[in-house]
Amino acid sequence: MAAAKSLVVLIMLSALLSNSFVLVLPASNFYQDFDIIWGIDKVRIRNDGEVLNLYLGKDTGSGFQSKNEYLFGKIDMQFKLVPGNSAGTVTSYYLSSQGSTWDEIDFEFLGNLSGDPYIFHTNVITQGKGDREQQFYPWFDPTSDFHTYSILWNPKTIVFYVDGTPIREFKNLESINIPYPKNQPMRIHSSLWNADDWATRGGLVKTDWTKAPFTASCRNFNAKTCIRYPAGPIISAPCPSNSSSSAWMKIDELDETSREKLKWVQKNYMIYNYCTDTKRFPKGPPPD
């Protein structure tokens, strides 16, 4: 462990001296890797930084963000979502840049009444424009144990994974003038918050505050990423691509096995796809 930490420190120092991005595989530790940005009294970090609990009360929720900014990466985190009557609550997990033309890659877990399934809500925002929602029911109980939620983001494609199974792919279609997030470094964010004006059945079901505080837990953060340090420039292809640890940079499409898994999820568990919403887009689906 000491040797691994020393290697990370040496790589970080090299990046600072060269004012650039660098490929880093940091050890997972919530003290080391993240800052609590709101609801500081409603976050608990346990097991020497290995587990973080988010809490939501009627007064406020809670959230954190990564200390580092990333430009491309394969990011995993395990979550155990709010159990029981979680209607009105949202646990979010996403990458986001800053500014009025920000980029964002979203997982949002929409709570529901006891016995009804969660909804996994995904979105990709490019240059401040979103409206690319796809939603899924899980094929398991996401509140009884931890499950792994992953985002792969490289210059060619974005893939959302649940327990290693791809559920959504968003390809780089700049060739037909569709913006793609590739120039803005992003931080990892997670939060637990009240969204009962829209989250459950369009806002018809409100949060039951007699069940508060609500709790979601996360652990096993893992990032194979390109980290941008404050002095570094913004460049569009920063990562070394000649090592096995950066294999995710080379992926431009899913292999046959992953493609079949994606089809299975989308056939059996997708409940909303913006591409087929003719009421929302009466003039035809968006070009992407």
Q: Hey, which residues are catalytic here? A: 104, 108
DSSP three-state, residue 274: helix
Q: Beta partners for 82?
A: none
CB 30 within 8 A of CB 220: no
Phi-psi region of 281 (alpha: psi -120 to 50; beta: other; left: phi over 0): beta
Q: Cα 49 from chain centroid?
A: 20
What tokens does 227 get?
Answer: 């980290």
183 — phi, psi (to 5°)? Answer: -115, -10
CB 133 within 8 A of CB 123: yes
